[in-house]
Structure 1
């Protein structure tokens, strides 16, 4: 079996309103959970309660995602500011006099 190698470079990743996208998705998961809770008995009668708990898990994981993308966005902005000011962004252990 031949090894597959790409014939061209991969495109740059798309950047957009990541924080807003993750926040909107998280809100959607929680809304879906809240809409399904009054019908829990119906889901339970049909052994479909996993739908309810999947929405809750999606909302919970979305909260972790919001935390992550906010930290990522702040780090990208700090890096851009450091590059613009001419400071060498890097780890303190990278400096020989440290």
Structure 2
């Protein structure tokens, strides 16, 4: 098992337009669902109705993802503005009086 243990630290996560990416993916899932809906009979005849429902599930989970990343983004911005508003002090030292 030791040979499968990583020997270096994991890289930092990439940050980007997360909200836009999740929103775009969610829209894509719903569009795929709507495009396949008129052909439901064909999918049913060939045993592929799971394709239609997978797209709907992807869109639904995407809505949860949008909610999640918007709250995460807001929390990151709140944290950054809070850190900028309070000066940093070395550990164990009180802020200067006055």
TM-score by length of 1: 0.84
1:31 aligns with 2:23: no
User: How many residues were matched structurally?
Assistant: 88
Moved over 4 A (4+): none
1:54 aligns with 2:80: no
The equivalent of 2:65 in structure 1 is 65
TM-score by length of 2: 0.84
* Deviation readout 1:20-69 (Å, 9 max, x if unpaired): 00000000000000000000000000010000000000000000000000
Q: RMSD over aligned Cα, in angstroms?
A: 1.6
Q: Which runs of 5+ in 2 are unaligned?
A: 89-98
1:81 aligns with 2:75: no
For the pair shown, which has the larger CA radius of gyration, 1 or 2? 2
Q: Which runs of 5+ in 1 are unaligned?
A: 89-98
